[in-house]
Amino acid sequence: MDPRVKEVYGRLWRYVIPHKLIGLIAVVAMAATAVIEAAMVWLVEPLMDETLVAHDLETARWMPFAFIAIFIGRGITGFATEASLGRIGRSVISALRREVFNKFLTLPLRFIERHATGPMLSRMTYNVEMVAESVTSVVTIMVRDLLTVFAAMGIMIYQSVRLFIFVMILLPIIAALIQVLGKAFRRYSGRIQDSVGEVSQVTEEVLTGNRVVKIFGGYNYESERLAEVDERNFRQNLKLIRSRAFGVAVTQVVFGVGVAGVIYAAGAESVNGNLSPGSFMSFFGAMMLMMQPLRRITNVNATLQRGIAAGDSLFRIIDEEDEVDSGTYRSEDVRGKVEFRNVSFSYGDEDSPVLHDVSFTVEAGKSIAIVGHSGGGKSTLVGLLPRFYDVQSGEILLDGTPVQDYELANLRSNISLVSQDVILFNDTIANNLAYGQLRQCTRAELLQAADAAHVMDFVKDLPDGFETVVGDRGILLSGGQRQRVAIGRALLKNAPVLILDEATSSLDTKSERRIQEALSTLMQDRTTLVIAHRLSTVESADQIIVLDQGRIVESGTHRELLDADGVYAGLYRMQFSGEQ
């Protein structure tokens, strides 16, 4: 076995081990099933020889009761097996799903942003199911099927050693077939998972981007895109089904030939007087009983391989490095001095740098505005402070301590953010405002923040008020309403450092001005980093830096920059020429 397969297999077992007790019930139930099934075959001999051939009345009387007992027992053990294995399977699914989900929460943004959502989603659904199916199948084979095979063999040996030896010659051939086919399955199953991910990716995009699809007439393009990935999925599944069915067919043919041989050999034995009709029927019954489990072993091997492929892709995520959180410094009293020292940054190792040698200082409680052309690196710059990404060179300090030295949670608890793309969850307005650690806020605090961010203005007209559910990503609110909720959330956090990345870009001038007023009161005692394309909102900042292609090309106050008559003055004149 290849070492990775072995490792995945071993790790999968670790999810089953906590369910030892139920596992024990399952094992006992499966063992009982095997014994009961063997007993039934065993009874064929007295049924034939004593009841039907020798007309023994005594046996004829108890025989029906024995069969009733057998079927009742089979029902009970069957139920116990299904219920306990089902429970183990579902528990494995839950455990894995939660583990992967929690991993998504702690993975670095770098990982999340570089992987498409669809395949990630399919891991949470398809792959975990696959793993559980595989685990329960393995348990079934290891216990019930193997025991059934052994019990059947026992009966066969008891009835006729010579016939048994004959049958045993067939087994290695079947085993070889199992081996060959198992390899083919593993190859297809990995690809199937990929194509399932692609299907969910395309579907998700069509659902979330439905307006774009409609207005730009994306019907044909999207349906072709789906047809393409679906076709791939279809073909791969078909290959898997075919190879599986082929495996079954080949095995059956081999068995068929074997059965013919057994019948021939049995005829010879019978003629020699070594085999009674009952013994033969019992032997034959035992052999048939063994056939199903053996066939299942071939089939389940495919499922097992599939489970391993699925488990492998899950463990790869679980094994990904978490965000680096090695800092130990904590501060409950951050004042908010922010310092960038010669910071250079690029998103990927091969990507060209987004920031070059950026240095500036914002004293605690002061504000800085960052302006510049689109794509200049403004959002990137402010994202480095809460360590969404780590810098490659230079240093970022909060209150004189490098941000890497802070405990990540402590660092982030001191920073509030209104991001450029507003993220709302499909929940009520109240829960979107009081999100995460803000959950504990009082109603009064919530109302105050909602008021300052002018969320109140529209909430009061909604029939459900704060309990209105905002839809996926807040789609049921207007752009400006969403933005106000995001501002309210940031205000509620009441952190010493506030980052506003185009926080008021979706608002009309009047609302913007009103929120600006609310913000400026708040900005008085906290450090604020403001990004805005509308320069009217940055005029009052204590300091303005102009970022151009990742470099600071100018800095100073609004007045100083206008007097210097450089890039900022140019931008400013351009914006206001139309309005004067």
Chain residues binding ligand ATP by CB under 6 A are: 113, 347, 354, 374-380, 420
| Euclidean distance between CA atoms 503 and 521, whole angstroms | 16
CB of 120 to ligand ATP, least distance (A): 16
Instruction: Answer for the pair 357, 395: CB distance below 8 angstroms, yes or no.
Output: no
Q: Which does 113 bind (CB under 5 to 8 A by kind): ligand ATP, Mg ion, none?
A: ligand ATP
Q: Is 504 in the site for Mg ion (CB under 5 A)?
A: no
CB of 378 to ligand ATP, least distance (A): 3
Fill in the per-residue mask, 419 to 438: x = in contact with Mg ion (CB under 5 A), - = not in contact: -x------------------
Instruction: Answer for the pair 533, 370: CB distance below 8 angstroms, yes or no.
Output: no
| Euclidean distance between CA atoms 439 and 433, whole angstroms | 9
Encode 185-216: b = buried (16+ Cβ within 10 Å), e = exposed: bbebbbbbbbbbbbbbbbbebbeeeeeebeee
| Euclidean distance between CA atoms 523 and 544, whole angstroms | 15
The SS3 assignment for 322 reads coil
Question: Where would I find the H helices in 319-425?
Answer: 378-384, 408-413
Instruction: Answer for the pair 429, 485: CB distance below 8 angstroms, yes or no.
Output: yes
Complex with Mg ion: residue 123 or 378, whichever CB lies closer: 378
Q: Is 379 in the site for Mg ion (CB under 5 A)?
A: yes
Complex with ligand ATP: residue 374 or 577, whichever CB lies closer: 374
Fill in the per-residue mask, 259 to 278: x = in contact with Mg ion (CB under 5 A), - = not in contact: --------------------
Complex with ligand ATP: residue 282 or 380, whichever CB lies closer: 380
CB of 413 to ligand ATP, least distance (A): 23
CB of 377 to ligand ATP, least distance (A): 4
CB of 241 to ligand ATP, least distance (A): 40
Instruction: Answer for the pair 259, 287: CB distance below 8 angstroms, yes or no.
Output: yes
Q: Is 51 in the site for Mg ion (CB under 5 A)?
A: no
The SS3 assignment for 217 reads coil
CB of 103 to ligand ATP, least distance (A): 20
CB of 455 to ligand ATP, least distance (A): 24
Residue carrying structure tokens 């399952």: 26
Complex with Mg ion: residue 12 or 531, whichever CB lies closer: 531
Complex with ligand ATP: residue 56 or 357, whichever CB lies closer: 357
Residue span binding Mg ion (CB under 5 A) among the ranges 141-149, 255-263, 375-383, 398-406: 375-383
Q: Which does 19 bind (CB under 5 to 8 A by kind): ligand ATP, Mg ion, none?
A: none
Q: Which does 347 bind (CB under 5 to 8 A by kind): ligand ATP, Mg ion, none?
A: ligand ATP
**What residue type is 197 in one-letter code?**
G
The residue at minimum Cβ distance from Mg ion is 379
Encode 448-475: b = buried (16+ Cβ within 10 Å), e = exposed: bbbebbbbbebbeeeeeebebebeeebe
Sheet order of strands, 543-548 included: 415-418, 497-501, 527-531, 367-371, 543-548, 551-556
Complex with Mg ion: residue 278 or 377, whichever CB lies closer: 377
Q: Which does 374 bind (CB under 5 to 8 A by kind): Mg ion, ligand ATP, none?
A: ligand ATP
Pairing of strands 551-556, 543-548: antiparallel
Length of the chain: 580
Main-chain dihedrals φ then ψ at residue 162, nearest 5 degrees:
-65, -45
CB of 572 to ligand ATP, least distance (A): 16
Residue span binding Mg ion (CB under 5 A) among the ranges 306-314, 377-385, 436-444, 469-477: 377-385
Closest CA to 77 of 172, 161, 148, 126: 148
Helix and strand numbers, DSSP H then E, in the chain: 20, 10
Complex with ligand ATP: residue 87 or 110, whichever CB lies closer: 110
Residue span binding Mg ion (CB under 5 A) among the ranges 134-142, 221-229, 346-354, 414-422: 414-422
Complex with Mg ion: residue 421 or 525, whichever CB lies closer: 421
Complex with Mg ion: residue 208 or 420, whichever CB lies closer: 420
Interface residues toward Mg ion, by CB under 5 A: 379, 420
